[in-house]
Each structure stands twice: as structure tokens, then as C-alpha cells.
Amino acid sequence: MHALPSYFLSHGGGPWPFMMDQVGHLYGQLDAALRDIPRQLGVTPKAVLVITAHWEERDFTLSSSARPTMIYDYGGFPPHTYEVRYNAPGSPELAAQVQLLLEAGGHPARLDAQRGFDHGTFSALYPIYPDAQVPIVQLSLKRGLDPLTHLEVGRLLAPLREQGVLIVGSGLSYHNLRAFNAQGAAASHAFDGWLRATMALPPRERTARLLEWEQAPAARMAHPREEHLLPLMVALGAAENEPAAVPYHEDAFMGSLAVSSFRFGRAAVA
């Protein structure tokens, strides 16, 4: 098996894949982009490791249950969205392997057998693997949200790609909930344009610019708090010297926002 690419996925809002009858006109492009990922990979991964924007711990922490529960970490949605199930298995073996990789690299890591799937995981993965057949392990962010720390962790995870593990950073390239409408259009376009231009740079320059992301145009308007951007650092670190592609970009997400997803490493099928 060739090394799988890694992805940073803009995962959309709340439980949107389970509300397509109501919101499909807003999420059609994202849904199509996520559903295309199995074709890009050309193989079914042995497992998926999701670095989720919706989980922060003092030390990096991994979900280690064989049968994860669900976490409905959103509010104001229809009643049925608090009953949805994404019944993918966990992988205690992969969780333990990742813990060893991180600790060998100098980053303390813990296992959490109680942690369920949050919507950063199940909303991103349901369109990709609707049959929930691929085991999933979640990896938390580390409090403090230091970009270099998360990049270093991505570097430590790189060998998993050779073993058939798909590494996914799940966040959003624009995440300012106080301006998640036309009010945020200019900032989202400025920041997203900078992100896409950065991805086209040679690897060393690309990494250096991303580590200094706060210098980007409208950076703090796009990310008042950077938890939805940090999964990008992990996905990049896992395939740091490989080319980037933009498998999803939308200029009018939610009517007016610019958002993107990124792939690092070559797809089996372009």
C-alpha cells in the first residue's frame, strides 16, 4: 500500500449531514467533496485517526473505546439530531500505538476509554464512510494551542500513513461564530486566499508561513480562537514535504463565506 495522504477537512456546522432535507442547498458542495474522498484514496483505510477541533486536553489524549458513544456537542438543532448514531468501531490498538509514538517523541499522551464521537468527527466522516465500517480513533488538541507543538505531533504520526491509517484534521478554515454570515465575508475571503496561496509554496516556506498564521490577513477575524485551525498543523506535519491540493473550496459557504479543505500527499486518483 502506498502512503495515504493526510487531510484537513472543513467539517461544516453541527450535525448537517443528518439534515440534508433541510440544509442540502447550503451543504451540497461540501457533501460532494467529502463523498469523493474514497475515490481519491483508491483503497479503504485500515483506520482513521481524527484530530478534532472539538476536544482539548492538558495532554494529547486519544479515544480508546472499542465502541465509542456519541457526543451531541451542539445546540438548537431538530430533536432527531440528538438521536443520530454513527456506529463506527473504535480501535484501542491504534490508540495505544499513537500514544507510544507521541510519548517516544517527547509529547505525553493519555487514553480516554469514555470519549465518544463529537460532531467534528461524525459530521466529517459520515459522508465519507456512511456505512461506518472503518474504525476511528480521535486525538485531542493540547491546551495552549501552540502551532509548533501540533506540527511536531503530526510529524510523529507520519509513519501511520504507510500502515494504511488515514490522518484527518477536522476543523474549519474560517471559524468566527459571531460573524458567520455576510459580516464575515471579507475576512473569510482574505484569510482563505492567504491559506490557499500558502499551500502552493515549497514545503519549508509553507511550514514557516503556517506557523506564523497570526500574521495573515484578517487572521484573528477568521479565528478569534484557533482551535478550528490547529488540526491543519497536525495534518500538515504528517505529510510535511509533500504537495498540497485543495479538494474542496467554496466562495459562498453559508451564502457568503470562503472555506477550504486541503490534502497533503498524492491521491491514488486525482
Per-residue confidence (pLDDT) for residue 103, from 0 to 100:
98
Residue 270 maps to a domain:
no
Residues 173-198: tens digit of each pLDDT: 999 988 888 889 999 999 999 999 99
Judge whether 36 and 125 are in contact, CB under 8 Å.
Answer: no
Give the CATH number of the domain where residue 16 resides. Answer: 3.40.830.10
Our CA angle for 46, 53, 122, nearest 5°, is: 50
Per-residue confidence (pLDDT) for residue 1, from 0 to 100:
60
Our CA angle for 19, 45, 266, nearest 5°, is: 95
Kindly tell me the sign of the dihedral angle through the C-alpha atoms of 217, 221, 222, 224. Answer: positive
Judge whether 209 and 196 are in contact, CB under 8 Å.
Answer: no
Residue 3 DSSP label: P
Residue 115 DSSP label: -
How far apart (Å, rounded) are the C-alpha atoms in residues 199 and 249?
13
Residue 1 maps to a domain:
no
Per-residue confidence (pLDDT) for residue 141, from 0 to 100:
98
Per-residue confidence (pLDDT) for residue 24, from 0 to 100:
80
Per-residue confidence (pLDDT) for residue 268, from 0 to 100:
87
Per-residue confidence (pLDDT) for residue 182, from 0 to 100:
83
Domain count, the chain: 1
Residue 242 maps to a domain:
yes
- Residue 180: give the domain boundaries: 6-264
Residue 153 maps to a domain:
yes
How far apart (Å, rounded) are the C-alpha atoms in residues 7 and 247?
9
Residue 232 maps to a domain:
yes
Tens of pLDDT along the chain (270 residues)? 689 999 999 999 999 999 999 888 899 999 999 999 999 999 999 999 999 999 999 999 999 999 999 999 999 999 999 999 999 999 999 999 999 999 999 999 999 999 999 999 999 999 999 999 999 999 999 999 999 999 999 999 999 999 999 999 999 999 998 888 888 999 999 999 999 999 999 999 999 999 999 999 999 999 999 999 999 999 999 999 999 999 999 999 998 999 999 999 999 876
